[in-house]
Amino acid sequence: MILRRRLARFLMGLLLAALAMAATGARADETVRTRGWVHEKEGFGRLVFDWAGAVGYSAKIDGQTLTVEFDRPASFATDRALKLLAPYIAGIAEQTDRRLVLTLTGPWKLKSFYDGTKVALDLYGTPPALAKTAPASVAAPAPLPAAVATATPLATPPPADSKMPPPTAATTATQPTAPPANATTAAPVVKLRFGQHDGYTRLVLDFPETVPYRVDRQGDDAHIVIGAPARLALDGNVSSWPAPLKDLHADGSESKPVLTLNLVPGTTLKDFRDGPRIVLDLAPGTAPAASSAAPAVAPAAAPTTTAATTSAATDHANAAPATADSAAPPVDNAGQPKPLLPPNAMTAADLLNGASTATPIASAANAKNGPEIDRLPADPGAPPLTVAVVQAGDGPTLTFSWKDPTGLAVFRRSGALWLVFDKPARFDLSGFSAPGLDAFDKVAQLGGTPAALRLVGADDLAALPRREGNSWIVDLRPQAEGAATPIPVTSEPDAAPPRTVLKLVSAGEPMTLRDPEVGDQLTVVTSTEPGLGVEPAQGLPAFKLLATVQGIAVEPRQDGLQIVKTAEGIAITTGANPTLAPVASAAKPDAAADDTPPDGPAATERLFDLPAWRREQEGDFATVEARLKAAVEAAPEDKREIAQLDLARFYFAHGRAAEAGGLIDLMGDERKEPLLDPQPLLIEAASAFLTGDPVAAGSALNQRALDGELEADPWRGALSALKGDWAKAAADFQESEALIDDYPQAVRFQLQSLAVESAIQTQDAATAHDGLDKLKADHPTPPQEARIAFLEGLLARSEGNAQAATAAWAGIGPQADADTAARAEFARVDLAQETGAITDAEAIKRLEALRFATRGSLMEFPLLERLGELYLADGRPRQGLELLRQLASHFPQHRDLNKVMAAMTKGFRDAFLGPAAKKLKPLEAIALYGQFSELTPPGAEGGEIAMALADRMIDIDLLDRADAVLLDQVRHKLTGVDKARVGAKLAEVRLLDEDPDQALAALKESGAPDLPAPLAADRRRLEAEALHRTGRSLEALALLANDQDPDAGKLKARMYWEMKEWALAAQEFDRLLAGADAQQLTPDQAEWGLADAIALSLAGDKFKLAELRQKIGPAMKETAQGPTFAMLTDPDSDPESLLATKLAGVARFESFMTDYKAKLNAAAPSTSQAPGTAPAATAGG
């Protein structure tokens, strides 16, 4: 009987064991996804187990081994997580269905906690791979839940919807609630704030918790020794500390920092606590009155005073509360405690960034009658300009009505808003005194040129510049301030010399201004396009880029800085020994640098479960939405994030991108730390894309937490398609086609249509046809049917079937959305122009009608690019270049930006040197060069453009403008032969302006060795001409003595003529006529023949006159000069006759001007020709 019962129990045990094994096997089929990422700045790595339901666990570290156990079985997908956590985890030593043993790379400290049903493990410490790139200033990690242990016992799981609560006290009673003393944590960053009071200066150290400290006073130096780890935020250089403080710096180490104050002799120092903060009051001569120097809030430690003449050390322990006898806090008239610092308090960081230590002067009069207006002496020659000021409901609006296009820079510095223009003006600031205008405390125009305003006050109003025609309008409104489009900043360390480039095509010339508050100088660059600015501020060893709303503001930090305008924007280089640092952020740690997607289950799992998120089985949309909203409202603070995420998933699964993205943003704001969970990160990215914010979408997609996530690929593909990177887009879509099917129809159609277009653009017709069939079968709406027709036409044209493309696009009617209709019209125009069905002018008219409809869309860039090219081809260079410049400004990081810049440079060149250059009127040419001079190519071509422009200026007698253009090329742009050629042109202009001395200076400044023979001869004749005009005719003739060229002969003949050396002049004319045909003369030879006769007649050489008459007399009869020649050569005429004298005077007056005008009208002016061609004549006959 007993045996039977034992046998029964044994068999029952076997049965229960078998059932348990079966149950275990069933549960082991559950796959738990693991996720991992590294918090580089905070110094820890996080490993998360994504359990679907509640689970108990334990975790402990033994040396460099982490053991994690769970109370139910599962398979763990760990490959990707461990790859990302390589700086902390070396690999898996052992793995079962309940237990993981991980080998660590160092002796890390462990924190573990629940996040709903997830289990999170944090490994604290700084691996060597991270230490190499860790920034010098690292904030302490955000506070995590308690229950931190090196060995966590098996924990009871929380309710499924809870958010990261610590294990209960019962489960962790024996465990510490904070990291061990030797845990690797970052010291807290402590700010130092300043405030000016009547009679003393107050310094406050903002410690997050009470720390021990002592004050050692030795003469005029005071050392505040802190008895706890801290990092004092004092990096930088300060030109002026607030009196009576001469200097201030941090000494010691982060584990025991020391703040050293260098005081003005006689200063009294008083110190006390205000909660965890340490307060220091500095007063000249004597201590501040008790009523004002006492601590601001009670309870506080009793203040201690040290005099300048004593050496004292006062120690303050943590637990030293104020006694009843301690100084009472000051109160205001209403009985309320006074604030610790005044409203104008500033931090040490403010001073390090250039803030002024001057105390603002409060003025009751100003408060009533508007701001204090400081009219500094402006440029007396600058034109007046009235600043119109209008007070709107939420802030003032300033209007600057300029007559010409003007650049503007907008930024803040030293507590003031700066508005800097690139033209001079004397501002009429009376508008700021209008009744009710109290936004500003002070308004000042900076003296000199350019025109600049400093507006003090209105710190809570954002500056929003916009342009209407030539007028700039600056609205000040209560909203976030910053650049609408950040200017790309790139470092080129391999350039010679290294440089930093800011891509701003609309940049003006760099200008230097003095800050009247700080006393240093800034270099400011304006922009003619609104909203292009630097964001955020960037500090480099050689200079600092201030954050700007518009334009560029550079604060030099070393001598020799060179800031120059280029075709791309602004280039900043240093002189000798450049120390420019890259602008890019620190490199990622080597251990995590490999971005190759990991293998294993985690790499292929879905991050989104859209069918489950839709909750269709729980009721209709409104019912489920109301229930989830109510859950968010009812959730306690520690569980609210889970409820918010559930609602965000629900919205996203139903295609409500705006609501989903808003909730994810709210979660990030409440958490006060960046989202690092891949799932909400991808919801944020996708929602941003769907709501028209590709910048935010790209920022989220670039987070390392999404590396290797296949779910992100279609969104990466969509973003690449928007940028026109079709090859990358096609690759991303090809890898993720199946992932699109679960999205709502509207989202699915948008992604699939972009995938089809990517296939068309990459000549993958088979994929495009398949994708179109899929779109047609997805129950498209009428607007979607129009998009399909557009894609069909695009595919037909790519396959060479223009007729089918035309038919497809012709069927797109009013049912199309604005984007599809605009793209179809663009395609129709493009095809018609390609086939010659329309002219350039007709194409321009039709495309101009699309500009508004395409703003912000996929086709804005190609439309503006095509319009710019069409304007250039149609002979309207100003319109074309303006469009292309606008395109480059608005799309500074577009992949085709270099193509646009090349088109601008070519269009500018062709306007001056191309076949249609003569059609450009002189004033139009001058305006075009002034507006786009940065496009002037370097070298010989740039010199040719300058000379062509100079000729246009000479045509309308703008000799001084021609001189300036050519001189700029000679001094700043050209070298060698090119410089010598343009220098010769400059000398010609100065001779024409009757300034031979400056002509000689131009030739001297532009000289170069080994010049081509024709150019050297041309410059030699110009020098001779200039010498002759300065009265040094003999030197001029000596310079031409061996020059047998006819041009030199003409020049020598005229010099001899003007010197009244008639016989020598006649000899030169005889040489010019040496090869003349006795029967027929050219017009030039006829002129020379007459001049020769005049010279011989005045020389009284009848014999030579007879020879001349016999030689060319018959031929001269057939010319207009024949009668005069016959009279002069008649033997019976008087050589001293009045007629000869008059003719000599006329010839002398007209000679040079006639010859120069002829040269200007010639097809190939001398100094505008390419090297090696012969120069035209420079002397008259």
Out of 194-198, 319-323, 966-970, pick the least confident.
319-323
Provide the pLDDT for residue 1156: 41
Provide the pLDDT for residue 584: 31
What would the pLDDT profile of 708-719 be if each residue is shown by its tens digit? 788 888 999 999
Q: Is the pLDDT of residue 612 over 70?
A: yes
Average pLDDT over residues 1118-1143: 71
Percentage above 70 pLDDT, the chain: 75
Provide the pLDDT for residue 178: 39
CA pair distance 399, 392, nearest whole angstrom? 13
> Under 8 Å CB-to-CB from 906, ≥6 apart: which residues?
none
Percentage above 90 pLDDT, the chain: 12
Closest CA to 308 of 265, 345, 279, 343: 265
Please state, as a whole number, how many other Cβ atoms lie within 10 Å of the Cβ of residue 475: 19
CA pair distance 741, 1055, nearest whole angstrom? 91
Which has more pLDDT, 712 or 169? Answer: 712
What would the pLDDT profile of 406-449 be if each residue is shown by its tens digit? 999 999 987 889 999 998 888 888 888 877 677 788 888 886 66
Which stretches of 118-212 are assigned E, i.e. beta strand? 118-124, 151-155, 189-190, 192-197, 200-205
CA pair distance 76, 33, nearest whole angstrom? 6
Q: Domains (ranges, CATH) in the chain?
A: 28-155 (2.60.40), 189-323+337-352 (2.60.40.3500), 366-573 (no CATH), 603-708 (1.25.40), 1046-1181 (no CATH)
Tokens of 887: 């395109």
| CA dihedral sign of residues 699, 700, 706, 710 | negative
For the sheet with 543-545, list strands across it.
511-514, 521-525, 552-556, 543-545, 538-539
What would the pLDDT profile of 839-851 be if each residue is shown by its tens digit? 888 888 888 888 8
What would the pLDDT profile of 260-278 be if each residue is shown by its tens digit? 888 888 888 888 887 788 9
User: What three-state secondary structure class fits 22?
Assistant: helix
Provide the pLDDT for residue 254: 65
Provide the pLDDT for residue 17: 47
Provide the pLDDT for residue 654: 92
Which has more pLDDT, 1127 or 533? Answer: 533
Q: Is the pLDDT of residue 578 over 60?
A: no
Which residue do the tokens 């001029």 mark? 1036
Out of 219-233, 896-910, 1148-1162, pick the least confident.
1148-1162
Provide the pLDDT for residue 407: 92
Closest CA to 42 of 149, 144, 170, 161: 144
What would the pLDDT profile of 654-678 be if each residue is shown by its tens digit? 999 899 988 888 887 766 566 667 8
Q: Mean pLDDT across the chain, nearest whole number? A: 75
CA pair distance 149, 176, nearest whole angstrom? 6
Out of 299-313, 507-521, 761-775, pick the least confident.
299-313
Q: Is the pLDDT of residue 974 over 60?
A: yes
What would the pLDDT profile of 863-878 be if each residue is shown by its tens digit? 888 888 888 888 888 8
Provide the pLDDT for residue 553: 94
Which has more pLDDT, 257 or 23? Answer: 257
Average pLDDT over residues 85-95: 88
Predicted structure pTM score: 0.46
CA pair distance 845, 825, nearest whole angstrom? 12
Please state, as a whole number, how many other Cβ atoms lie within 10 Å of the Cβ of residue 402: 18
Contact 688, 700 (CB under 8 A): yes
Average pLDDT over residues 10-27: 45
Out of 21-30, 50-59, 468-477, 732-741, pick the least confident.
21-30
Q: Is the pLDDT of residue 133 over 50?
A: no
Average pLDDT over residues 44-65: 87
Provide the pLDDT for residue 198: 64
Q: How far is CA 629 from CA 658, 682, 798, in A?
A: 16, 22, 50
Provide the pLDDT for residue 525: 95
DSSP for 117-145? TEEEEEEES--HHHHTT--SS-PPPPP--
